[in-house]
Amino acid sequence: MKRILILISFLLLSLPTIAQENAPPILDIQQLMERLFPIQDEELDYEALYELLLELYQNPLDINRVTAAELLATYLLTPPQIQAFINHQTTWGEFFSVYELQSLPNWDSATLVTLLPFLTLETTKNSSKPFLERLRSEENNFLVFRYRKTWELRQGYSKNDSTINPTSRYLGDPNDFFLRFRVQHAKDFSLGFILEKDAGEALAWDPKTSRFGFNFASFHLTRYGLAKWKTISLGDYQASFGQGLVFGAGFSLGKGAETVPTVRRSSLGLLPYTASIESGFFRGIGLTRQMGPWQSSLLISSIGKDGRVNQSKDSLDSVLKTITSLSQTGLHRSLSELSTKNQVRETNLGSNLQYNANSGRWTAGLNLLHTQFSIPWIRNSNSYNAFDFSGQSNQVGSIYANLSWKNFAFFGESARSRSQGQGTVLGFVSSLSRTVDFSLLWRSYDRHFQSLYATAFAEGTRPSNERGAYLGFQLKPSATIKLNAYVDFFTFPWLKFRVSTPSNGQEWLVRWSYQPQKNRLVLFQFKQERKMRNLSEEDEFTPTEQVRFILKSHAQASLEMDISTELTSRSRVLWNQVTFNQKKTQGWMLIQECSFTRPNWKLTARMALFDTDTFDNRLYAYEQNAVGTFAIPAFSGRGSRQYLLAQYRIHSRLTAYFRIAQTYYRDREVISSGMQEISGSKQTDTVLLLRYALH
């Protein structure tokens, strides 16, 4: 009775909003991306992270069926908030409305507004229907066609330039085609495929070069809840168990403006692979079986990998093949790039065993992964990669655990690879009070720790050759003010690329945001990073190479406001400074963006000016694009950037997006280099996307 009275009171206070609950909330993915990744750099795989957020948005979590691990994967909730949600489910049963979440301890309206695009409340269930009938009648299905093009001619397309190496000239045209189909129902099934041709690649049917029309093709079929089979994945899939030391599912948030929840990973299990990135996934079959509190998973995968092949002869005149490098770009535009396609077959056999306590307060598990290459991988020898994986097979295993106790959430994973290298992540997240959240993470990765699918928390691009400690804070002194901060200390016991000695560094960030009204946000942010770097730019290092500290400082100020119900404005200033070898260089960028929205269409326009002294001062700025398309270009030099994005709902089933963007440089007559070189001072890009719902 008490619960019903609370809900009735809340409904009366929120009646105008609740009346529209059936309308799907609109996700401001730009604001969310900038919140998670406040200072962009090249070390994060933003496209994979964007795909994760888009996946959550297109498959909202049913609040009466969601698990704690799935809530954790949104990276937007603290442990006490998740625990309050679980306690409510245990005590009161199912929710009547998604807005009932606002009555939970530690939850507030700001949290609910952020999460709403990722949540749903299913009022009907069609699990009693046959699978084919559910598949045919599912409303959550779509077909997407995308066309992209850079209109200025790149050097690789020149047909009459005799100075170009024929093996480097692009075989195809500058058109980029992408086709995606998907039909899905949360916790029931997901079926889809992707076909893609990158700019410069040729549409060709040539089995000898593993080309069957489109250069990249991906397919998946995932079923959930078939008797005791929790998940059955066929085709392309990913795996996420523990803290990402063995199975990392291709994404990791790590350090960002959300300084507390993003340090801990969630064991989501087997996931359908839905991105167009041509690496970092398994291809084959994955199975997860539920046996009471126990859960076991088996992964079998075989997939072709791109790589450079070196051939030599032994004393018996036999030809020996080795892979000197693996490519993850997925580009096959020229004869040279095409010669790397599917040169080695990678076979993976993996398993996971996990125990989930009935109380929901702790889990523990084991991971094992065996990787076998069809020919040995022998890297080109450099001092800094002397302890990287080399050979024909690798094994890595780990143990992990998660524990919730009062306002603390402890987590950890420890792994060991065949090379006897060890990697360990330990940490906790806590709400010290209603206004203060805190996170702590310690990691230790041996220089010879070798895990090929790991994406654990690290300063480097992968968890190896690193020790570090991270502390994050979040303070909410009032409903309108929030302060986020972190500090991270790290050391590298062995050499790194462009660092010919063991090194160390520190990084810290402070972000202050003020939101006096729902439609107005002011924020200031400052980040500083101190690392070591060789004085020269040479890749080959000697023990006598001189090393100095490089200090990078970044600042950002932003004002976002709704001028009216139809017009939104975003203003931003970006600045950085790099100090290296007693020399200081700077860069800045001014951005003004406006969006105008009507019932069936939306226009977004941006104008930006940038000026940087060197390439080290380059600035990254997230840009809005057609749905499912990611854009976060880097800007260096002196120039301007502008784009116009139009979205129009032609029919209840058909929506069209068109985007034109242009960058104009005032300090050069040539853009980029090599086969990507453009003769001129401007670059124009367009995107046309059509999204059609079959039902």
- For residue 26, give the 3-state DSSP assignment: coil
- Please name which of 225, 210, 253 lies closest in space to residue 73, comparing C-alpha atoms: 253
Helix axes 29-36, 46-58, angle to 10 degrees: 130
Q: What tens digit of pLDDT does each residue of 221-261 get?
A: 999 988 899 999 999 999 999 999 999 875 556 787 788 88
Q: What is the CA radius of gyration of the chain?
A: 26
Q: Which residue is associated with the tokens 């129009």?
A: 648
What does the mean pLDDT of the chain come to? 86
Choose the most confident range, by mean pLDDT, from 49-53, 81-85, 429-433, 449-453.
449-453
Burial (CB < 10 A; 0-12, 13-18, 19+), residue 128, is exposed
What pTM was computed for the model?
0.87
How many Cβ atoms from other residues are within 10 Å of residue 326's Cβ?
18
- For residue 90, give the 3-state DSSP assignment: helix
- For residue 461, give the 3-state DSSP assignment: coil
Q: What tens digit of pLDDT does each residue of 558-581 get?
A: 999 999 989 999 999 999 999 999
Question: Averaged over 587-598, what is the pLDDT?
Answer: 96
Query: Which pLDDT value is given to residue 145?
Result: 96
Domain definitions of the chain by residue range: 2-562, 563-695
Length of the chain counted residue by residue = 695
Residues forming a β-bridge with 154: 678
Q: What tens digit of pLDDT does each residue of 60-75 get?
A: 778 887 877 777 777 6
Question: Averaged over 332-351, what is the pLDDT?
Answer: 94
- Please name which of 32, 27, 189, 46 lies closest in space to residue 119, comparing C-alpha atoms: 27
Q: What does the DSSP 8-state code read for residue 245?
A: S
Tell me the C-alpha distance between 142 and 562, whole Å: 31
Q: Residue 15 pLDDT more than 50?
A: no
